[in-house]
Amino acid sequence: MIPRPTITQLAAQLGVSPSTVSRAFTRPDLLRTDTVDRVLAAAQAVGYVPNNHARALSTGKAGAIGLIVPDIANPFFPPLIRAAQNHATAAGLAVFLADSDENPDREERLIIAMAPQVEGLLVVSSRLPSSRLRDLSGRYRLALVNRDVGGTFRVLLDATSAIHAALSHLAGLGHTRIAYVGGPERSWSNRQRRAAVEKRSRELGLHFMSYSAGPGTYEAAKALSRTVVGNGATAVIAFDDVLAHGLMGGFAEEKVDVPGDVSIIGCDDALATTTFPPLSTISFRVDEAAAEAVHALTAHSSPGTLPATRVAFEGSLVLRGTTSTPRRD
Amino acid sequence: MIPRPTITQLAAQLGVSPSTVSRAFTRPDLLRTDTVDRVLAAAQAVGYVPNNHARALSTGKAGAIGLIVPDIANPFFPPLIRAAQNHATAAGLAVFLADSDENPDREERLIIAMAPQVEGLLVVSSRLPSSRLRDLSGRYRLALVNRDVGGTFRVLLDATSAIHAALSHLAGLGHTRIAYVGGPERSWSNRQRRAAVEKRSRELGLHFMSYSAGPGTYEAAKALSRTVVGNGATAVIAFDDVLAHGLMGGFAEEKVDVPGDVSIIGCDDALATTTFPPLSTISFRVDEAAAEAVHALTAHSSPGTLPATRVAFEGSLVLRGTTSTPRRD
DNA sequence: CCTTGTCATGCAAACGTTTGCAGAGAAACA
DNA sequence: TGTTTCTCTGCAAACGTTTGCATGACAAGG
């Protein structure tokens, strides 16, 4: 690790001014092409890499965005992180990642600490109260994902219509008693999904039951499985695939057959076909959502805070192997 | 997003010099305590946050480390990422995350691009050839995780002894035909684990069979399940839990009972108890490994590249529900 | 041949910190 | 009271870029 060469050294070595070297990287169109080539070749030779901090200081642009998720271990987030990463890289930006550990205080501290150092912050599935988010959104460049707060820039994965389709499908199969098994109470998605299931159940004249798998873990859902079938539900919609999977784990232990005895539909399509039977679920175009959010952050048309825009992507129902006609007793 | 206050503005407002404000943050012991209080209070009031880029430029310390993983969607990595994150934060450092997408070229480009901007790089489960890693390690501050390359700093999760224990256990149950289902060929862990299974099988006089689930995905393993039992294996050790899970998926479809017909042991303990039956596996103290690596990166005793130290953490066998006596035909 | 314009490059200031050095008091000592 | 030591603070240079402005060379147009 020899101290790395600076633009000045490279310039001296080439007999040009530092500005020329700088421009060879940032505004090559201003230089003669052979000058550019010469500089680039020399840079390559001595292993020159521009110092990002100096650049950021000079331009006022950070060259990075931040990404905050509540729990990186939840399989829903990694694909989103990867997508954000790819789009950021394409825009020439690096990504700072932070995990709020489902803790609102920690999340807020992270936002305050990171926001000044980056172009903007992608806040995914925030657990903060709406008022705080609105406030923070007024002070920093935030793009919310999966959280609908008026007055902020937000991109939403909207399960409503897919849930309607799911319930129509279940009703069509003959199910009449539907359970919703919810996740983290601070999650906007959870509230939205529960409301959608309830509303649509009423519309279709189905009996609706609501449960909550507190922390939203596999184990919590598994522990709930007995209760859910005990109360007579023949179909359950879970907040996400992790909970759906937990329920399946519980049912397997109790010899409750899926989909024979009970149908299950998850959400997020985070598990692909890794369950047995393969889980029916609601799938989102996560990559596009991430692209939208990153793009908003990097579009410097707005020098200040982001416009209060609401972008929604609808999910789609994908039926695999966990839904069928209810067993007639 | 009003332009944020600088140290100079804060200083002017307080009637002190910028150095004093700077020291209030970095070397408060050099100032009178009431001066420190006054500065901190004013900073708090106007919302001053030090500019990290300026600081980095001035001190030459980046205030961040980089983290490169081959596939963030593989459940083995998120816990590791989180652990690294936490330890870095504790040391006052942020974390740049990048995903090499299992692509060696991309991985190398990432290392070269990121290394100069950070204090050091955590390279997890590298897919690069040893020679490249040795070379890069000589030029940048790298800490390898899960890759044993002489001449570099590396922390290893060593499955050998746990695999020995696993095979002893299986042999004790009466198994005689053992299969190893491997993952990515570029993975050091994969080679290490295969070798350990093979060696121990010979020692115990067991019949050893080796398979490879090419890309190391759930689907690839699932597709292999028929072949594996077809060839008479009664117990299989999988490269990791994802593959073990894939095999279980395949067995479930083919009505091969686990553990009745075939016993399975995974590795990494990435799935906890979310399979049915709960997967027996090999567990590692990932948090400690991450701590070790981050600590090495942040310990600036060595200003240049890291010492060529090898730190190994042994895994331990955890038996859950996928191992039992082989069925006697 | 002079003017005007274009193109490629250089000069120097600025970005917001940190930090070695120096200086002003105040305190301690003789 | 004079000297020394200590504590606190300020000055100014440095970190490595970028970029507005100025300049010189050269070509084109008259």
Q: Is the pLDDT of residue B90 over 60?
A: yes
Is the CB of residue A79 less than 8 Å away from at least one CB of chain B? Answer: yes
Which distant-in-sequence residues (6+ apart) come within 8 Å of A301 by Cβ?
A: none
Query: Using the beta-carbon criterion (under 8 Å), do B141 and A54 form an inter-chain contact?
Result: no
Distance in angstroms: CA A29, C1' C4: 24
pLDDT number for residue A329: 55
For residue A52, which of A93, A17, A98 has the smallest C-alpha distance? A93
Q: Is the pLDDT of residue B202 over 80?
A: yes
Distance in angstroms: CA A301, C1' D23: 34
Q: Is the pLDDT of residue A19 over 90?
A: yes
Which residues of chain A does CATH 3.40.50.2300 include?
64-158+286-298, 160-283
Is the CB of residue A249 less than 8 Å away from at least one CB of chain B? Answer: yes
pLDDT band at A304 (very low <50, low <70, confident <90, very high): confident
**C-alpha distances in angstroms, A182 versus A147, A204, A312, B130, B173?**
16, 21, 21, 48, 42
Q: Is the pLDDT of residue A1 over 50?
A: no
Nucleotides of C under 7 A from a protein CB: 7-12, 14-20
Q: Is the pLDDT of residue A123 over 70?
A: yes
Task: Give the residue from B8, B44, B53, B65 with the most A CB atoms within 10 Å of its CB, the best one to mutate.
Answer: B53
CB-strand contact B50/C, under 7 Å? yes
**C-alpha distances in angstroms, A49 versus A35, A52, A61, A278, B160?**
18, 9, 17, 48, 41
Which distant-in-sequence residues (6+ apart) come within 8 Å of A28 by Cβ?
A: A36
The residue of chain A with its CA nearest to that of B112 is A49
Percentage of chain B lying above the pLDDT 70 cut: 97
Average pLDDT over residues A44-58: 91
Is the CB of residue B321 less than 8 Å away from at least one CB of chain A? Answer: no
Q: Please write the tens of the pLDDT for every residue from B118-175.
A: 999 999 999 999 999 999 999 899 999 999 999 999 999 999 999 999 999 999 999 9
Which residues of chain B does CATH 1.10.260.40 include?
7-50
Tell me the shortest Cα–Cα distance from A199 to chain B, in angstroms: 31
| Chain B window 54-93, residues with Cβ within 7 A of nucleic strand C | 54-55, 57-59
pLDDT number for residue B1: 47
Average pLDDT over residues B208-221: 94
Can you name the CATH fold of A64-158+286-298?
A: Rossmann fold (3.40.50)
Q: Cα separation of B37 and B14, whole Å?
A: 12
Q: For domain B7-50, give its CATH number from 3.30.470.20, 3.40.50.720, 1.10.1740.10, 1.10.260.40.
A: 1.10.260.40
Residues 159-198 of A with CB under 8 A from B: none
pLDDT band at A2 (very low <50, low <70, confident <90, very high): low
Q: Please write the tens of the pLDDT for every residue from A195-230.
A: 999 999 999 999 999 999 988 999 999 999 999 999
Q: Is the pLDDT of residue A116 over 90?
A: no
Q: How would you class B303 by CB atoms within 10 Å of its CB: exposed for 0-12, middle for 13-18, buried for 19 or more? A: exposed
Residue type, A304: G
Average pLDDT over residues A310-318: 96
pLDDT number for residue A298: 87
The CATH number assigned to the domain with range A160-283 reads 3.40.50.2300
Of A139, A140, A249, Cβ closest to residue B274: A249
Average pLDDT over residues A22-31: 93
Q: Cα separation of B244 and B265, whole Å?
A: 7
The residue of chain A with its CA nearest to that of B72 is A78
Q: Is the pLDDT of residue A47 over 90?
A: no
For residue A99, which of B298, B75, B89 has the smallest C-alpha distance? B89
Tell me the shortest Cα–Cα distance from B72 to chain A, in angstroms: 6
The mean of the pLDDT values for chain B is 93
pLDDT number for residue B116: 84
Q: Please write the tens of the pLDDT for every residue from B222-232.
A: 999 999 999 99
Distance in angstroms: CA B51, C1' D5: 37
Residue type, A218: Y
Backbone CA torsion sign across B86, B91, B94, B98 = negative
Tokens matching residue B79: 């816990």
Average pLDDT over residues A243-249: 95
CB-strand contact A60/C, under 7 Å? yes
Query: Using the beta-carbon criterion (under 8 Å), do A79 and B95 form an inter-chain contact?
Result: no
B122 — phi, psi (to 5°)?
-95, 115
Is the CB of residue A218 less than 8 Å away from at least one CB of chain B? Answer: yes
Contact A28, A60 (CB under 8 A): no
The residue of chain B with its CA nearest to that of A270 is B73
Q: Is the pLDDT of residue A300 over 80?
A: no
Q: Is the pLDDT of residue B283 over 50?
A: yes
Which residues of chain B does CATH 3.40.50.2300 include?
64-157+286-298, 160-283
Of A1, A98, A140, Cβ closest to residue B304: A1
B152: helix, strand or coil: coil
Nucleotides of D under 7 A from a protein CB: 7-12, 14-20
CB-strand contact A48/D, under 7 Å? yes
Instruction: Name which residue leads in pLDDT, B21 or B328.
Output: B21
pLDDT number for residue B10: 93
The mean of the pLDDT values for chain A is 93
Average pLDDT over residues A318-322: 95
Nucleotide nearest to B55 (CA to C1'): C17
Q: Is the pLDDT of residue A41 over 70?
A: yes
DSSP A277: S
Q: Please write the tens of the pLDDT for every residue from A81-109.
A: 999 999 999 988 999 999 999 999 999 99
B48: helix, strand or coil: coil
B75: helix, strand or coil: coil
Tokens matching residue A44: 């390559």
Degrees to nearest 5, angle at CA A95 with A93 and A99? 165
**Sheet arrangement for strand A235-238:** A207-212, A177-182, A235-238, A263-265
Task: Give the residue from A4, A72, A82, A253 with the most B CB atoms within 10 Å of its CB, the best one to mutate.
Answer: A72
Residues 115-144 of A with CB under 8 A from B: 116-117, 139-141
Residue type, B122: L
Average pLDDT over residues B183-207: 96
CB-strand contact A35/C, under 7 Å? yes
Q: For domain B64-157+286-298, give its CATH number from 3.40.640.10, 3.40.50.2300, 3.40.50.1950, 2.60.40.10.
A: 3.40.50.2300
Contact B144, B152 (CB under 8 A): yes
